[in-house]
Structure formats: C-alpha cells, structure tokens
Amino acid sequence: MSGRLTDKACIVTGAGAGIGLAVAKAFAAEGARVVVNDAVGDAADSAVEALRSTGAEAVANHDPIGSVASADAVLATAIEAFGDVDVLVNNAGILRDRMMHKMSEEEWDAVIEVHLKGTWACGRAVVRHWRDAAKQEVDAGNPPHRKIINVTSASGLIGSVGQSNYAAAKMGIVGLTKTWAKELGGLAINVNAIAPAALTAMTEPLLEDPAIAKRRLARFALGRYGTPEEIAPAFVFLASDESNIITGQVLCVDGGLVI
C-alpha cells in the first residue's frame, strides 16, 4: 500500500537521524510533504537532501525544540513551505542519564525542556493554528482528521534506573497524549503516542559492555532492539486515515520490552 499520506504536510521534530529520520523517510515514501526539524543543522539539511533526491517535498528547520518560540518557528516553516500542517510528530529528545543523587539541576531541566515542554509547546502551536478551521469543518460535517503523534518510551511506562529526568518527561508525555485526546476529539484531532525501542546513536552505547548488553536484551521478548525502519511504519499508520478511530492510545513498538 502506498500514497496513504499523499499531499499531507507533516512536521517531524528531531528528524535528522535515528527514528525521526526513518519516520520522515517513511512519510515521504507515502506522499507526504515533510518539515525536517533538527537542532543539528547539518543533519536536518542532509535529511532534506536525501528526501528530495527521491522526489519528495521537504524543508529543513533548525530550531532547538523546547520553547514556545521554537515551536512557533517550526510551525511557521511548515506554513511558509506548504501552506498548512496536517500531522505533527513530537520526536525530538536528548538523554542526560544520571542516578538520582548525582543528577544536576541542569541535567534535569535540559531533558524536561526538550521532551516535555517541547512536546507541549509544539502541540500548542499546531492546535492554535488548527482550531478555527477544525470547528468550521466539524460544523459542516465530515471533517478531515488531523494527527498528533507523541513519542514516549518504556521509561515513560515502567521507569528506568538512572533516568529520573527522562522517565518523568516521558510519563508526562503520556499524560499530555491522553488529555489532549479528550480535549481535541470533538475537533477530529487524533492524539496518540508511540513507545519505541530502536537501536540508534542514543541507545547503541547501552550495549557496549557485553555483560550489560546480554542482560538488557534479555528483557525483550524478541531478544533485540528494532531498527528505526521497523519502527517507522507505526507512525505512518497513526498519521494516516486508517487510524481515524484511534485516539488517546500508547502503542508499544518495542520487540516485547513492555508486556
């Protein structure tokens, strides 16, 4: 099946590498027009070049996620390039792992800012943009569905040693997802979250020690992390009209890590 996102304007934050890049590529392959956001400018630009080389429409945005100003700037990039936005993927994230008693205030704040505040700010920006049109469309009957897909993790569902900041932020994102689904359902805005587990630059260091890697992989029913390319189809599904009846859910795409 192809063309499930034809002409849909999509924002993917943190899309210069890893899962975000795989999602941007999967969206483009389904006909989407994509805003590739990444604070690492070279990564965003390289991703856009790769997408355009396939014939896709794509533009880069280099604003660091974590503030209202940056969220508004990402939205403005989409409006300027494509005239609108249909799908928002809140994927940008960082790690500052540290045991609770060793974690600094700066390490706590940095992770909360990018993951939790960034998700809230980007969601706020697009919903403020959508509301008036969505209300009119609902009143007219048969409104189009707009989609927000947030990214949580196993840490956001069951906690993780050494990740007080990350787990708190990711659990907060679950709360945002469920609250927004209730607030926005009447406007035909679907809000869901994905909890992925993929081998990326952020997770590869976790497997450097063979003994630790063996214990960590034993937690997966399938015995391994997924690849970003294996995670991306779940995002396509939730962005497409095939998922119009689904909202307020957390989908674990994690090889059986959280069961």
Distance separating alpha carbons of residues 195 and 23, to the nearest angstrom = 14
**Which residues are registered as beta bridge partners of 252?**
195
**Residue 150, C-beta contacts closer than 8 angstroms, at least 6 positions apart:** 90, 119, 123, 173, 176, 177, 191, 192, 193, 194
Coil, strand, or helix at residue 12?
strand
Residue 225: active-site member: no
Alpha helix (H) residue ranges in the chain: 18-29, 41-52, 68-82, 105-111, 118-140, 155-158, 164-184, 210-217, 228-239
Q: What is the token pair recorded at 88?
A: 């928002």
Whether 107 contacts 165, CB under 8 Å: yes
Give the residue from 224, 227, 99 showing the smallest Cα distance to 160.
99
Place of tokens 């859910």: 249
Give the residue from 227, 151, 233, 248 showing the smallest Cα distance to 194.
151
Catalytic residue among 27, 108, 130, 166: 166
Known catalytic residues are 166
